[in-house]
Amino acid sequence: MPEGIIVKALSGYYYVMPLEDSGVPSVEGSAVQCRARGIFRKRGTSPLVGDRVGYMLTENGEGTVDEIRKRETELIRPPVANVSLAVLLFSVKEPDMNLNLLDKFLVHIEQAGLDALIVLTKQDLADPENDARDTVAEVKALYEQIGYEVISTSSRTGEGNELLKERLAGKISVFSGQSGVGKSSMLNALMPGLTLETSAISMRLGRGKHTTRHVELIPLDNGGFVADTPGFSQLDFLEIGVEELSTCFREFAQYADQCKFRGCTHTHEPGCRVLAAKAEGMISESRYKHYEQFLTEMKDKKRRY
C-alpha cells in the first residue's frame, strides 16, 4: 500500500503527497485527492493534515485513505498532526512587539510539548541608533537566557532566512504569531515561486488582516513542511489546568521544587522559591507579570464556564 502525507484537507477531501521508499515526501509529484474510508467515522476519528497515511488509488485517478500511521503529536488548534516545531513570528515594528502575546503562545507550546523557535521579523525596520530602545537585543537577551532560540530575520533583505530554513529541514513546523508580522512574506522568501497571498498592515488597527483560510502543509525543498495556518485573533486557556500554568514557564522549573508548600501558586505563599528568584532578579519582571495575568484570566474563565 502506498504511503503519503496529508498536506491539505478541504470540503471532505484529503490531499495526499506520496512518500518515496526512503520516507521522504516526493515534492515533485502532485498530491492525490482522496476520500477517507467510512471506518474512521465508526472509530470516532478522522485524518488530519500532517498525518502519514496508507492510501489506495481508485480507477478515476483519485484515492482512498485506508490507514492512519501512529501520530507523534496532535494539535487541536490548528488541527495538525506530527508537528515537532512551533515557529513564533513577531515583528520588530509594524506592528510593535507584543511580549504578552508571545508569552501566551509560549505557554500553549510548552503545554503541547513542542519545541519553540522565536523569529523576529522585519529586522530591516529596526533603527537602534534612533530608537529609544533596542527591542531586538532586549528580546533576544531575555528569551535566550530562558532557553529559547531566537532568530532575527528580514524578508526584504534576506537576513536570517538561510538559518531559519535549516531549522525547518526534515520536520513539520507550524507558523504562528502576531497577525500582520509577515508570515506569508517569510514563506515566500524561503520558497521563491510560492506566491502566497500577503496582506498590508492596517495602520489604524495596528494589525494585519488574516489572509490564510485553512491549514495547509507547504513543502520545502529540504524535506521540511510548514503548516500555514489561519491567524489567531485570541488564545484561551480552557485546555490548560490552573495548576499546569507554572510548568509552562520553563524558568520557574528550577525553583518550583524548592518551594515550601506543595501546589504553590508562586503568588503569595511564604517560602516560595519562585518569588524569591524574582526578587533576586533571576526571573524577569515582564514574564512574571504575564504569569500573574494569565493565572487571573484562567481563574475567571473557569468560574464563567
Does the annotation flag 49 for ligand binding?
Answer: no
SS3 211: coil
Residue 210 shares a structural domain with residue 95: yes
Tens digit of pLDDT for each residue in 38-79?
Answer: 888 888 889 999 999 999 999 888 999 999 999 998 887 778
Grid cell locating 255: 525553583
Residue 188 shares a structural domain with residue 111: yes
In 3D, which of 285, 299, 296 has the Cα closest to residue 99?
285
Does the annotation flag 179 for ligand binding?
Answer: yes
- Please give the tally of structural domains in the chain: 3
Q: Which domain holds residue 105?
A: 83-228
Does the annotation flag 111 for ligand binding?
Answer: no
Residue 260 — very low, low, confident or very high, per pLDDT cuts 50/70/90?
A: very high
Q: What is the mean pLDDT of residues 281-305?
A: 88
Whether 234 maps to a domain, the answer reads no
Residue 87 shares a structural domain with residue 40: no
Alpha-carbon radius of gyration of the chain: 21
Counting beta carbons within 10 angstroms of the beta carbon of residue 200, is it exposed (0 to 12), middle (13 to 18) or buried (19 or more)?
A: exposed
Contacts of 93 (CB under 8 A, 6+ apart): 122, 125, 126
For 142-151, 179-188, 215-224, 259-268, which range has the lowest pLDDT when averaged over its residues? 179-188
Number of H helices, E strands in the chain: 8, 13
Chain centroid to Cα 207, Å, comes to 19
Question: How many Å apart are CA 250 and CA 106, to the nearest integer?
Answer: 10
From residue 223, give the alpha-carbon distance in Å to each of 22, 131, 170, 245.
11, 40, 4, 34
Whether 77 maps to a domain, the answer reads no
Does the annotation flag 22 for ligand binding?
Answer: no
Tens digit of pLDDT for each residue in 158-208?
Answer: 889 899 999 999 999 988 877 777 777 788 888 776 655 544 333 232 333
CATH number, domain of 192, equals 3.40.50.300
Question: How many Å apart are CA 298 and CA 302, to the nearest integer?
Answer: 6
Residue 102 — very low, low, confident or very high, per pLDDT cuts 50/70/90?
A: very high
Query: Is the per-residue pLDDT at 243 higher than 50?
Result: yes
Does the annotation flag 170 for ligand binding?
Answer: no
Say what the pLDDT of residue 212 is: 43
Does the annotation flag 199 for ligand binding?
Answer: no
Whether 75 maps to a domain, the answer reads no
Does the annotation flag 185 for ligand binding?
Answer: yes
Boundary residue ending a domain (38, 68, 98): 68
HSE-up (13 A, CA, CB side) for residue 208: 26
Does the annotation flag 34 for ligand binding?
Answer: no
Local structure of residue 29 (DSSP, 8 states): S
Residue 143 shares a structural domain with residue 252: no
Average pLDDT of the residues of the chain:
83
Residue 53 shares a structural domain with residue 136: no
Residue 222 shares a structural domain with residue 98: yes
Q: What are the two backbone dihedrals, phi and then psi, of residue 87, each rounded to the nearest 5 degrees?
A: -100, 115
Does the annotation flag 264 for ligand binding?
Answer: yes
Boundary residue ending a domain (68, 103, 120): 68
Angle between helix 285-304 and helix 135-146 axes, rounded to 10 deg: 70
Question: How many Å apart are CA 176 and CA 166, to the nearest integer?
Answer: 18
Whether 237 maps to a domain, the answer reads no
Boundary residue ending a domain (42, 68, 94): 68
Whether 73 maps to a domain, the answer reads no
Residue 142 shares a structural domain with residue 59: no
Give the amino acid at 180: G
- First-last CA distance in the chain: 46
217 and 172 in contact (C-beta within 8 Å)? Answer: yes
Does the annotation flag 248 for ligand binding?
Answer: no
Give the amino acid at 233: S
Residue 92 shares a structural domain with residue 194: yes
For 19-28, 124-133, 270-279, 294-303, which range has the lowest pLDDT when averaged over its residues? 19-28
Say what the pLDDT of residue 252 is: 96
Whether 20 maps to a domain, the answer reads yes
Residue tagged 507554572 (cell numbers) = 246
Residue 135 shares a structural domain with residue 50: no
Global model pTM greater than 0.85: no
Chain centroid to Cα 245, Å, comes to 18
C-beta atoms surrounding 76 within 10 Å: 9
Residue 41 shares a structural domain with residue 90: no
Residue 89 shares a structural domain with residue 135: yes
